[in-house]
Amino acid sequence: MTLNLKAAGTEWDAGDRSWTSTDTILYALGVGAGTADPLGELEFTTENSHGVDQKVLPTFAVMIGGNGTGQPRLGDFDLAQLLHAEQSVTLHGELPPSGTSRTSGRLAGFYDKGADALIVLESSSVDAATGEPLAETRTTLFVRGEGGFGGERGSSEPWTPPNRPADHVVTCPTRTDQALLYRLSGDRNPLHSDPWLAARAGFDRPILHGLCTYGVTGRALLHAVCDARPASFGSMSARFSAPVLPGQPLDVHIWDHGGVFMFQTRVGDTVVLDRGVLTRKN
């Protein structure tokens, strides 16, 4: 089993992706909007509430990256060895409740971590009708057992949480059926719904999607430090560090650095999203 190292640097047209107001509402519900208070986030969970204009959660940007066409083969390794390691998203403004994006993709590189490997994928999406930029994403995949090919190790930005209590701690409940709800936004990986496959991967029960934890955390950040205004949400990056079970509450710890915010998401004492950074726009 090997990585397709020759594909490094490949760029491709990832096609168009259309969505409706139903899709953006379903995504909001999938990342917990309305769970604690059904009337608390109507701008994200309804399209016809009196005096309320529908808005879109910024982390929906991870869902608009084209239709998946054109991406080169990453390798012939066992997909059971593939894990989502890191995710970042950068917004150019508020996403529309319905629309169509046109996306280009790039395989930024393969990185050798000794026994294991990292694959970095990038995307850039524009409004298909106007050409205006919508968002960029950067996705890092961890592949167990595929290192040792002599490539660069890659680098990472230094990140150390401040030596003080967090400026904000937001507790977000999750539902026991959260993964079943989130999967309706497009990620049908049975690891999150099939007990047999979850057991094969070493889990007692299906786990929550990493991008669901990411989206719940993005909601907490939006409300805590962006005044619930998607236009103020600039970029968000984080590393996935431990699995979450549906039903477990997520505690988002946020440190304010004057427009840049460091964060961790925890389940009890376990950090499940680490090295988090959010930039806010004025």
Query: Which residues carry out catalysis?
Result: 187, 192
| Residue pair 14/65 in contact by the 8 Å Cβ criterion | yes
Whole-number Å distance between alpha carbons of 82 and 63 = 20
103: left (phi over 0), alpha (psi -120 to 50) or beta: beta
| Residue pair 212/30 in contact by the 8 Å Cβ criterion | yes
∠ CA 86-99-53, rounded to 5°: 95
Whole-number Å distance between alpha carbons of 277 and 259 = 11
